[in-house]
Amino acid sequence: MSQSIKVTGMILSAVPIGEYDKRIVILTKEKGKISAFAKGARRQNSPLMGVTNPFSFGEFELYEGRTSHNVLQAHISNYFMEFSTDYEGAYYGFYFMEIADYYTREYNDEKQMLKLLYQSMRALASGKINRELVRYIFELKALVIEGESPEVFRCANCGVNDRKMLFSSQNHGIICEECKGIAPDGIWVSDSTAYTLQYIVASSIEKLYTFAVSDEVLEQLRRIMKQYMDTHVDKRFKSLEILEMCLK
C-alpha cells in the first residue's frame, strides 16, 4: 500500500518536466538521496512553486508511489535566499550540490554528507570565512566521509611524523623528506598547512568552519586540493567550470 512519508533534507537540483512540473533531487536524513516529482510546481499559484528550488532545506511530505515519490507539501526552514542576489555564492553552492549528488546514493545513510553540506552552505552564506577556504574544507571533508581521506598525520610511506613534509596525491597523503624520492608530484607543506589538513580531517563537522588561514596556507591548500581531486576523483564537475569562469 502506498502512503505519505516525511523526510528532512536539502534540494540538490530541480529540473523542469513538461509544461508545469518539476523533478527534484533531495538529499535526506532518512532515505539518502531521492528524487521526487513536484506536480504543478511551475504554475504561478502552486504552493509547491516556492519550495522546490535548489538549496532549500526543510521537511518534505511525499507520497510514496510504486515507482516514484511525489511531493505533497514542504516546510522550508532555510531557503538560502542570500544566493538569489549573490551569484558568486550561488556558484559555490551549485558546486557543493553537484559534489554531494556525485557521492551519495539512494536509500544509503547519507546523514554525514547532508550535515556537511548544510554547514558548508551556512558558512558560504555567512560571508565570515573566505569562500575559497570553505571550498577546500568541503572538498576534503567530503572525501573523508567517503572513506577517501589522504593520510595527513604521518608519512604515508614510512610512518614518521616529525620531519619536513610534502603532499603527494600519487602516495595518498603526506610524504617525509627522507621518502621524497617516491613523490615526484610532491608539494611542500608548511607546518601550518599540515596542521590545517589534520584539523579538517579530524574535526567534527560542527567545528569545521571556525578558523581562518594565512595566504600562504590557502595557496598550499589550493595546490593540494586541485592535485588530489584531479588524481582521485574521476568526474569533471560542470558547476566547477562555471565557478572558475566566474572567479576569473
Question: Please, what is the minimum distance in Å from the beta carbon of residue 168 to Zn ion?
Answer: 11
Question: To which residue does cell 507520497 refer?
Answer: 63
Give, in order, the Cα–Cα distances in Å from 43 to each of 16, 72, 104: 11, 15, 30
Short-list 104, 100, 43, 48, CA closest to 76: 48
Based on CB atoms, which residue is closest to Zn ion, 110 or 151? 151
Question: Please, what is the minimum distance in Å from the beta carbon of residue 177 to Zn ion?
Answer: 8
| Binding positions for Zn ion, rule: CB under 5 A | 155, 157-158, 176, 179
Question: Please, what is the minimum distance in Å from the beta carbon of residue 175 to Zn ion?
Answer: 6
Short-list 147, 177, 173, 172, CA closest to 162: 177
Based on CB atoms, which residue is closest to Zn ion, 99 or 165? 165
Question: To which residue does cell 565557478 refer?
Answer: 243
Short-list 48, 211, 248, CA closest to 137: 211
Question: Please, what is the minimum distance in Å from the beta carbon of residue 155 to Zn ion?
Answer: 3
CA distance 191 to 180: 17
Based on CB atoms, which residue is closest to Zn ion, 157 or 168? 157
Based on CB atoms, which residue is closest to Zn ion, 179 or 200? 179
Question: Please, what is the minimum distance in Å from the beta carbon of residue 53 to Zn ion?
Answer: 49
Sheet strands side by side (includes 173-176):
173-176, 165-168, 187-189
Question: Please, what is the minimum distance in Å from the beta carbon of residue 159 to Zn ion?
Answer: 7
Q: Which helix (H) or strand (E) holds 242?
A: helix 238-247
Alpha-carbon dihedral sign for residues 62, 64, 65, 67: positive
Based on CB atoms, which residue is closest to Zn ion, 143 or 179? 179
Based on CB atoms, which residue is closest to Zn ion, 115 or 154? 154
